[in-house]
Amino acid sequence: MCGIAGLIWKGGASSDIGTEMTQMLQALKHRGPDSTGFALYGKAEEGVQVLRFKVAEQEEMSTGFDIHKQVVERRAAVDTRLKELGAEVTAEEQATEYAFRYHFKFSGDLKRLIDFLEDIDGVEILSVGKALELIKDMGDATVVSEQYGIKGFVGTHAIGHTRMATESDVDIRSAHPYWAYPFNDVSVVHNGQLTNYWTMRRDLERRGHRFVSNCDSELIAVYIADAIDQGEELEGAMRRSINVIDGVFTYLVATSDQLGMAKDVMSAKPMVLYESDEFVGLASEEVAIRSIFPREIDTWDPYQGEVKVWAA
């Protein structure tokens, strides 16, 4: 079932999107309590990138053999490899026992750096971006938000997801949003099921794309990454996806300055849209939008096969 939500403040305006997205996703908890994920877009700092990564799954922390020692070792390995490729870490933060947030300066080949880091056993890069911060973990929106201190995050736009696992395991690896590796600042959330997942996955893998999970939603992120790789515009790629990807889906994509939505031709999955002069809010159910706008607002359902993109 899953619940997805997105918001964007137009004209470069910024707001406490951390709190807003937490409220929206909490209102959608009944659509999926397994895990919650946030992709928040803040103000970019000149020349500095944000790296979000985890070195273990949440479940492993209580069951894994010698896991606490391994976590320390894995993090040390990340530090060593960052240094080895010439990345300069300017700030370090430990979000949870197993998830970290680094600020770093790097001018080399980003894909090579990420591949090198993920080569370490148990390490997964959640996101890299100048503006993007991707946070996902087990639990509902309030739990994850408090654990990672999301409230008070100021930015221009965000997407989020509450997951009811249908196609793959309940773990952080299979939780949304997905980052469109290895491209800066691109993230995807999806509600639905994709039926030509394996055909498309094999095709994309042959072209050198990475898949970290068996979750069908990851395909959309990889598909968008592939389109960007080939120099395609976001909106064009999304329009093409309506006919290329088979199944029932509504998905949201965010880049450093854009928010897009796409709905399949059957219009099988819900999406409610609210648009005013300064704000656009999207969610699987209107209650989510109402959680940040308690007053009466005009909303509507986008139609089948519709693609819309807004700029921050």
Partner 1 sequence: MGSVTTSHDMGLHEEQLAGRTQQMFFSASEEENFTYPWAYEVDTDKSAEFDAADMEITDINLKIRELMKSGHGTITVNNPRAKHSLGVGILNRVNLNFNGSLGYFGCGLADGANIRISGRVGWSCAENMMAGTVVIEKNAGSLFGAAIRGGDLVCKGQAGARVGIDQKGGTIIVGGSVGAFTGFMMQRGRMIILGDAGDNLGDSMYDGTIYVAGKIASLGVDCVETELTDLDKRYLKGKLDLYGMAAPNGIDNIIKLTSGKQLWNYDNLEATEKKLVL
Q: How far is the CB of 1 from partner 1 (least distance, A)?
A: 12
Closer to partner 1 by Cβ: residue 288 or 312: 288
Is 267 a residue that touches partner 1 (CB under 8 A)?
yes
Q: Which residues contact 207 (CB under 8 A, 6 or more apart)?
A: 226
Q: Which stretch in 64-72, 128-136, 165-173, 266-274 sits in contact with partner 1 by CB under 8 A?
A: 266-274
**Which listed residue (246, 299, 308, 310) binds partner 1 by CB under 8 A?**
299
Helices (H), 85-215: 110-118, 141-148, 197-206
Q: How far is the CB of 265 from partner 1 (least distance, A)?
A: 7
Closest CA to 220 of 258, 259, 257, 246: 246
Provide the sign of the torsion angle of the four alpha carbons 2, 142, 184, 82, taken in this order.
negative
Q: Which stretch in 2-10, 239-247, 253-261, 279-287 sits in contact with partner 1 by CB under 8 A?
A: 279-287
Instruction: Please state, in angstroms and rounded to a whole number, the distance separating the CA atoms of residues 84 and 168.
Output: 35
* Region of 95 on the Ramachandran plot (φ > 0 left; ψ -120 to 50 alpha; else beta): alpha
Is 303 a residue that touches partner 1 (CB under 8 A)?
yes
Q: Which stretch in 103-111, 138-146, 155-163, 296-304 sits in contact with partner 1 by CB under 8 A?
A: 296-304
Closest CA to 201 of 246, 153, 264: 246
Q: Which stretch in 182-190, 231-239, 249-257, 291-299 sits in contact with partner 1 by CB under 8 A?
A: 291-299
Residue 154 half-sphere exposure toward CB, CA atoms < 13 A = 6
Instruction: Please state, in angstroms and rounded to a whole number, the distance separating the CA atoms of residues 141 and 33.
Output: 9
Q: Is 2 a catalytic residue?
A: yes
Is 12 a residue that touches partner 1 (CB under 8 A)?
no
**Which listed residue (73, 235, 275, 285) binds partner 1 by CB under 8 A?**
285
Q: How far apart, in Å, do the first and last CA atoms of the chain sit?
A: 29
**Which listed residue (272, 280, 282, 292) binds partner 1 by CB under 8 A?**
272
Is 119 a residue that touches partner 1 (CB under 8 A)?
no
Tell me which residues touch partner 1 (CB under 8 A). 265-267, 270, 272, 285-287, 289-290, 294, 296, 298-301, 303-304
